[in-house]
Structure 1
Amino acid sequence: MQISRRNFFLNLGITGLGIISSPNILLAKNRSKHYLKNTKGTGLTFLFQGDSITDGKRSRNKDWNHVMGHGYAYLIASRLWFDYTNEDLMFYNRGISGNKITDLNARWQQDTIDLNPDVLSILIGVNDVPKIIENEYSIKKWEETYIQVLDKTIKALPNTQIILCEPFILPSNNMVRIDWTKEKTESYQSVISEMQKIVRQLADAYKATLIELQQPFLDACKKAPAKYWIWDGVHPMPAGHELIARTWINEVSKKLNFIGHDYLKD
């Protein structure tokens, strides 16, 4: 269902950004910011969840040549596995191309809870944007579903360190695949901006580590044009995945003692 640009912005504006009432948010607020019991690294399990940006064309079998995909999750895992050989780390990638927040919610038990990760990283949102623009569901519904995912997590895995990655776009008129018209760009940017505010609030409410990505990509455009980092406005180029990996490691190193705080600093 298509709606006018004016009505879309009106609908977006009335949803509000207040985090809805959730019994588990009160539980989350009582958690210490250092609730991960094992910060030294030994035996930690890392899990990456999300859509195609996380998926990275990963294999669905035991072929370790491709099991982590070919994106930021692979870069993070390969670096930490190489540099911390004595820590007995394990990494899993359960990103699925095309996934929305509702898809994550539906498969959360099998693909997250059952894996019992010590560190859980989530990057989700960009596939929800067109659904919100077309009024199939609201930004408020997106927020509510994200909260359901986080509530399930802290209830089942109270000691898991949660990493919330900011959804992002980097549109440009000379992108290869997507026609970034002015109207489309404004619509996408408005929804993504609201999502970023929600993710920041959720990170604060659930004592999660926030990985800001929009501004790092904008800053990177001072070095090279947008298409150098993200080829179609949504999916990163190899350099874009490297940007995500470096940003992620540098932020997460503040919580995990075994990673040096100056690791991969520019």
Structure 2
Amino acid sequence: MFTDHPHIINYYGYEENVDSRGNIMHNIFLEYASCGSIADQIEQSVENTGGGLSEWEVRNYVKGVLLGLKDIHKQGFVHCDIKPDNILLVDGYVPKICDFGLAIKMGLVSHLRGTPAYFAPETIKYRIYTASADIWALGCSVLEMVTGRCAWGVPVTEENMSCIGNYEIVPQIPKGLSWEIQDFLKSCLVRNFGDRWNAESLLSHPFLQDPFQPISIAVGPKTWRTQSTMLPNEDQKKKSNLCSFMKELAI
């Protein structure tokens, strides 16, 4: 379906073999990504500079990912596992989306799909997967690219995952970033998925336009904030229990 797409890893076919125990083995042939993944680039940047990638690098990667997502979503699919590990880099550091093992048609599902640190609030709370879920995951990935750490600043566990799904919190966007990328992230990390920008709209965002002044920053570990603290009284204690671990580790 996505053969020869410039920003989706190419699939060349498969073959079946039988091992010595009689088990059928399926070998899938995919395009070779000689430059590794964006996750590798982030790790290398943290080791070399103590921080994430430059905004210039991030912008070039994000353009390609959005072009891939635009066509995936146009076909009615959700990737369900957008993250730096699943964005490979081919010759010339061209980004290509890979690993469609969890991809599904948009709609309701019975269980969560993907990696918890990138789960959108509506997928946790309602098990609904639309194109917006991939956009949230992209926002988390972009934040990870520029900071060098998980968007939430702490491991996402079953406890704080519930907090993400049910209470008005979003990852913190560092103030040291340019206004363009801050606004781009705010357009992705919107809790109401109906208000989240789609891939086509994001491709027109000022962050992805020329001219652009790149910056590179090293940020601390505090990456937690709230969009609102207004909660029903009966939920206040539960909210405190769920979120305190997340908040304390992010300080």
More strand by share: 2
- Normalising by structure 1, we get a TM-score of 0.25
- Normalising by structure 2, we get a TM-score of 0.26
